[in-house]
């Protein structure tokens, strides 16, 4: 699984290996069929990287759970529009 990408082969290898997470990357979108398959097998879906608000919206709609971004303030507005609850930091 050295070639992290956005392919069905990578998705299948991730599921077969029993991984808990996958990082998809590349392209303007992800295939919602792939993200559904991953989530059906208990794999959490991460995507690297975007700072484009419209692309982030598509990624969230297509099943990405953890998009990696640099422009957090701007991207939080997109997350809010998609009903994604904000986490509250806690200190222990």
Find, among 3, 45, 49, 46, the residue nearest to 28 by Cα: 49
Q: Reply yes or no on whether the pLDDT at 3 is more than 70.
A: no
Q: What is the pTM of this model?
A: 0.86
Alpha-carbon distance of 30 to 62, in angstroms, equals 6
How do the domains of the chain map onto residue ranges? 8-81
Lowest mean pLDDT among 3-7, 41-45, 48-52: 3-7
Asked if 61 contacts 54 with a C-beta cutoff of 8 angstroms, the reply is no
Q: In sequence order, which residues have a C-beta less than 8 Å from that of residue 80 and are 6 or more positions away?
A: 86
Asked if 11 contacts 34 with a C-beta cutoff of 8 angstroms, the reply is yes
| Partners of 67 in beta bridges | 47
What mean pLDDT value characterizes the chain? 91
């Amino acid at each position: 699984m050295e070639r992290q990408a956005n392919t069905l082969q990578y998705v299948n290898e991730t599921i077969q290996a029993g991984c808990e997470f996958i990082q998809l990357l590349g392209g303007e979108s992800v295939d919602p069929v792939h993200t559904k398959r991953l989530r059906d097998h208990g794999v959490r879906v991460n995507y690297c990287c975007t700072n484009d608000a419209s692309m982030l919206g598509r990624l969230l709609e297509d099943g990405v759970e953890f998009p990696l971004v640099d422009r957090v303030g701007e991207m939080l507005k997109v997350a809010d529009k998609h009903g994604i609850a904000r986490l509250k930091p806690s200190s222990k």
